[in-house]
Structure 1
Amino acid sequence: MANASRQVVWEFFGTELKRRRENAGLTQVELGGRVFVSGGYIGQFEQAIRKPQLDVAQRIDDVLQTDGIFERLCRKLIDDPRYADYFAHVVELERLATRICEFAPTVVPGLLQTKAYARAVTVAANPFRTDAYVDEIVAARLERSLILDDAARPEYWVALHENVLRIPVGGPQAMAAQLDRVAGLVRERSVVVTVLPSAAGAHAAMTGMLQLMDFEDAPPVAYTETSFSGTLVDDPAVVKRAQRAYDLLRVATLSPEASLALIDSAAEDFRRCASTT
């Protein structure tokens, strides 16, 4: 589904939600209380500013007795074969975020990946899939990264574990190009990247990738991911813990200047390796 048509359906979702809520005689605050979100969230759903998670849509159907219309709309909108079910909402939220903070323990974050790197990661995870499938996944990943080209792009803070700089994803030439891209974005001031050195040892977010997103008129969310699943969290207490874990991790990283020097050095190492093979 094209982005423009998806937005039209989200706007219909919001308009229909407002109509059904008002017909039920409920305020935004009252409906929010019954489906366990704030009244402000309901207002943002109605304006198509923020998209509800599937379980929230299901609770709205239950409260408003709408015979599953909001669940069906939500499933239609998040049913994008290019993304895992648990990741579709994250893609929507990235487009709305004013700030994104991310920790990557093993691979370069999707928003920073080159085509060759993204393809190598996708093939490694899907060794029996067709080239057409791989191309579709890679195209979607590159499409996500377009938010960094937007004039209204979010602040993007990335902490990379040193492992990310050392694993030759796609081979030395592809890896050198990938690290050059990261360094280039840093020099363009499109992103702030720091590196957590291996010598730092244990840290607060060892269990997997962590992403934090802030918004103009909505509470922050956290997203965590392992190899086969991801969890989007908006519980304020849990998000606060995730933010603290990220803060503790970031103070253990190298300075931005030292991190850039290490990225450049790793890229040069891969270039020398490529030239000798």
Structure 2
Amino acid sequence: MGDKVLQQWMPLGGELRQRRKRAGLTLAEVGEELGLSAGMIGHMERATRAPLREHVRNLDTLFATEGELLQQWLDVVEEKDVLPWFKDALQSELRSKKISEYHSILVPGLLQTAEYTRVLVSARQVQKTPEEVEEVVKVRVSRLPHLRPQRPILWFVVDQIVVDRVVGNEEIMAEQLRHIVSLAEDDTIRFQVIPDEVRKHCGLCSPFRLMTMRDNRKLVRMEHTLGGTAFDKADEIEEMTDLFGALQAEALSPAKSIELIQDLAKGMK
């Protein structure tokens, strides 16, 4: 009697088989690269064994699939029913070598702690069960860890209200601020704050992000309440690139911004 096929893993298994054959590799050769047996690679392709995250990440490297396999793996493991626009955004993140993002009212999603996210989701999506809220939280906070091994350039500019406003309570907000400081101090991100005394600046608009893909294609995503819209025309990219540069110029330096955030966090203890 054969091993039971895990239906949810069949699409990924089929993709692995196609990628291996396209690369002209045998099961044994792929297994050697991953430190696994040829039999185990066969199990993954036939969907009779669930692959581990580290194995899928290594397969992404081996097949040069730029995070596509890892994204498929996440879709299964997290069992998420992601809306198409958000799934596209996640896939774009994994293919990016640079992300520049502006937000006027909230900490950008990539940087949110679980507690901060939980407050936002439960406050806005009151129809969700606690279990559904936790699924959304898990998806959001997993995004940055999936990006970090690829070392993309991540640069954020926010208005001061983003770090001033207490979301949830002082303890949750202080933890969120410390998280931003930690990411900046280990060079994962660059983070700038536009101070309150700048009363008239060129932002004051919908949140947006500029993304440069590994193949040097560029994309702008504008966020709104019901999702997001992507733009990729040259003049649109140029306009938003100029806007982000102007926002950086209005903001405190990264060092001064982190000092401000550290002071705010201390005041919330």
TM-score by length of 2: 0.71
**Percent of residue pairs identical:** 24
Q: Does 1:211 align with 2:219?
A: no
3-state SS of paired residue (1:174): helix
Which residue number corresponds to residue 25 of structure 2?
none
Structure 2 stretches lacking a partner, 5+ long: 1-6, 22-63, 69-74
Which residue number corresponds to residue 256 of structure 1?
254
3-state SS of paired residue (1:100): strand
**Pairwise CA distance, 1:49:** 5.5
**What is the rounded CA distance, in whole Å, between the counterparts of 1:264 and 1:144 in structure 2?**
24
**Pairwise CA distance, 1:6:** 5.4
**What is the rounded CA distance, in whole Å, between the counterparts of 2:8 and 2:92 in structure 1?**
17
Q: Which amino acid aligns with 1:197?
A: P
Distance change >3 Å, CA 94–CA 10, structure 1 → 2: farther
**Pairwise CA distance, 1:147:** 3.1
Which residue number corresponds to residue 168 of structure 2?
170
3-state SS of paired residue (1:163): helix
Q: Does 1:270 align with 2:268?
A: yes
Structure 1 stretches lacking a partner, 5+ long: 16-46, 52-75, 272-277
Distance change >3 Å, CA 82–CA 260, structure 1 → 2: farther
Which residue number corresponds to residue 71 of structure 2?
none
How do residues 35-114 of structure 1 correspond to structure 2 at under 5 angstroms?
81-114=80-113
**Pairwise CA distance, 1:50:** 9.4
Q: Which amino acid aligns with 2:233?
A: D
Moved more, 194-203 or 1-10: 1-10
Distance change >3 Å, CA 268–CA 216, structure 1 → 2: same
For the Cα contact (< 8 Å) 1:110–1:145, is it kept in 2? no
TM-score by length of 1: 0.69
Which residue number corresponds to residue 58 of structure 1?
none
Which residue number corresponds to residue 180 of structure 2?
182
Q: Could you give the per-residue CA deviations for residues 181-232 of structure 1, whole angstroms, max 9, x where no partner exists? A: 0001111111111101122123333221111111221311111102223111
3-state SS of paired residue (1:208): coil
Partner of residue 240 from structure 2, selected from 236, 239, 242: 242
3-state SS of paired residue (1:250): helix
For the Cα contact (< 8 Å) 2:208–2:223, is it kept in 1? yes
**Pairwise CA distance, 1:87:** 2.0
Distance change >3 Å, CA 12–CA 207, structure 1 → 2: farther
**Pairwise CA distance, 1:82:** 4.8
3-state SS of paired residue (1:198): coil
